[in-house]
Amino acid sequence: MTRALSGKIALVTGASRGIGRAIAMRLAGEGATVAVHYHSAEDAAKQTVDDIVSAGGAGFALQADLSATGGAATLAERLSAELVARFRSPQFDILVNNAGLSKRATIEDVTEEDFDRLLQTNLKSPFFLIKALLPHLRNGGRIVNVSSMGTRSAYPLMAAYAPAKAGLEALSRLLAQHLGPRQITVNSVLPGATATDMNVTARDPVASRAVAGTIALGRVGQPDDIAKVVAFLASDAGGWVTGQQIDASGGQRL
């Protein structure tokens, strides 16, 4: 039986753990060869690749610091070189901009250094990674940008994070129009409270109960809940969806 992404090549940023790892595993499970990007968690990235291979998939790890100026260019160069070495072509099909950096602080406690780092990681690096890789993204390809439901609901502790993610959503919408003639879809996925390393509250058995009370479906999300949505958007089944902000929060703060 042919899998939905057989023959496709995907890059997932921030894929060593959490939502990114779940996305990488899901895309590989659907048949894609997955480039697992990481910043510093080399062992975790290698474990993700090992798990992909053990499950019958294909993948490889790539390191780059997307919180630094020039990190996107480095990742684009490394991806292209690896694809040429493996497939004799730098072309690929799916880009998932998942890597993110958060700081829980109100505006009074956000420094200019904090703001610059969050903007670099959550908006500037995805922007320039897309720009660098567009010549190699096949017509009919997919771009999925992982945002946050914090862009549609007021969380004062996301004073820098939410505006950066809102910018990523605006970029997604305009790129959907711009890349439509190439049949490339561009969408944003907005997770809510999801049990990952980045969200300690959602992982805590006690604290997560209070959060679950704000969610229509009555529980916090798991990384694979988000991965399923991304896999749909990456597949042919999602080919008529573009320029959208897909809320994947279980109905948090409706």
Q: At what angle are helices 71-87 and 125-133 packed, to 10 degrees?
A: 30
Question: Phi/psi at 240 (nearest 5 deg)?
Answer: -105, 15
Residue 38 bears catalytic tag: no
pLDDT at 205: 81
pLDDT of residue 187 exceeding 80, the answer is yes
Q: What is the pLDDT of residues 33-47, one digit of tens each?
A: 999 999 999 999 999
Q: Are 252 and 214 in contact (CB under 8 A)?
A: yes
Non-local CB neighbours of 55 within 8 Å, separated by 6+ positions: 25, 28, 29
Structural domain boundaries in the chain: 9-248
Average pLDDT over residues 161-181: 98
Assign 4 to helix, strand or coil. coil
| Mean pLDDT to the nearest integer, 194-219 | 88
Long-range contacts of 48-54 (CB under 8 A, 24+ apart): 48/15, 48/16, 48/17, 48/21, 48/24, 51/25, 52/24, 52/25, 52/28
Q: How confident is the model at residue 1 (pLDDT cuts 50, 70, 90)?
A: low
pLDDT in tens, 213-225: 999 999 999 999 9
What is the topology classification, in CATH, of domain 9-248?
Rossmann fold (3.40.50)
Q: Tell me what pLDDT residue 82 has.
A: 98
- Could you tell me which residues are beta bridge partners of residue 191? 248
Start-to-end CA distance of the chain, whole Å, equals 39
Mean pLDDT for the stretch of residues 133-156? 98
The predicted-structure confidence for 69-92, as pLDDT tens digits, reads as follows 999 999 999 999 999 999 999 999
Give the model confidence (pLDDT) of 153-170 as tens digits: 999 999 999 999 999 999
pLDDT of the residue at 207: 77
Q: What is the pLDDT of residue 203?
A: 78
- The mean per-residue pLDDT over the stretch 194-214 comes to 85
Q: Which position among 38, 60, 161, 232 bears the catalytic label?
A: 161
d(CA 137, CA 132): 10
What is the model's pLDDT at position 208? Answer: 86
At residue 240, the 3 state secondary structure works out as: coil
124-149 average pLDDT score = 98
3-state secondary structure of 1: coil
Tokens at residue 153, please? 């609901």
Q: Give 101-121 pLDDT, tens digit per residue.
A: 999 999 999 999 999 999 999
Q: Say yes or no to pLDDT of 198 above 90.
A: no
Is the pTM value of this prediction over 0.95? Answer: yes
3-state SS, residue 190: strand
pLDDT above 90 (res 133) = yes
Per the CB < 8 A criterion, the answer to whether 202 and 211 are in contact is yes
Given a contact cutoff of 8 angstroms between Cβ atoms, the answer to whether 123 and 169 are in contact is no
* Eight-class DSSP state of 198: T
